[in-house]
Structure formats: structure tokens, C-alpha cells
Amino acid sequence: MEDLKGLRRLYRKGNGQGRRYRRKMNSWSFYELQRQIEYKARWLGLPVRYIRLGGTSSKCAVCGSRLVSEEHRAMFCLTCKRSVDRDINACS
Ligand SMILES: [Zn+2]
């Protein structure tokens, strides 16, 4: 799980999202959400890990090679010869 404090910054400007959508995202209580996820995960015996924002977006989830930025939010791995969405790659 990404440190949710960083998410707030993501939704502030640009990103192609409408003003209304952005406000909705910012009105969440991120702390509360994070606390609940942690609680539920612990209850289920799942480990909760926090990862550093940024680092996961620049490396391929499959081979660990550096990714090259493509248009929009896509990244390209020169080793795997595949294009990935940077958010999906970061979660893999
Ligand atoms: Zn790769």
C-alpha cells in the first residue's frame, strides 16, 4: 500500500480529472481509510507494507529493469519489450 498521504498531492492538479472529482477525492479522510485498512488486514492476518512513492513507478515489475516513460501514463520496459501502465506496474 502506498503511503496515502502522498495520494492527496496526486489528485490536486492536472491528471485530467474534473474539479468535482478532485474535490471528492480530497474530501476522503485518508488517515481514517488507512487506519481501517490496517485494522482489517491485521484482523485477517495480512501484513500491511508501506512502500515509498516514486521508486516503484520507475522499475519493471517483471524484470526490475528501469522503465522508459511513454506518452500519457504508460511506461515501457526495454528488456521485456512491453508497455505497462505506471499505476498497474507499481502495484504488481
Ligand atoms: Zn521488464
Whether residue 30 sits in one domain with residue 10 = yes
Q: Give the mean model confidence (pLDDT) for residues 65-72.
A: 80
Cα of 81 from ligand 1 centre, angstroms: 7
Cα of 74 from ligand 1 centre, angstroms: 13
User: Would residue 50 count as lying in a domain?
Assistant: no
Cα of 59 from ligand 1 centre, angstroms: 8
Q: Would you place residue 39 in the very low, low, confident or very high pLDDT band (cuts 50, 70, 90)?
A: confident
How many domains in the chain? 2
Q: Would you place residue 52 in the very low, low, confident or very high pLDDT band (cuts 50, 70, 90)?
A: low
User: Would residue 13 count as lying in a domain?
Assistant: yes
8 A C-beta contact, residue 67 and residue 75? yes
What cell was used for 90?
Answer: 507499481
DSSP class of 63: T
pLDDT of residue 58: 74
Which structural domain range is residue 9 located in? 5-43
User: Would residue 16 count as lying in a domain?
Assistant: yes
What cell was used for 28?
Answer: 476522503
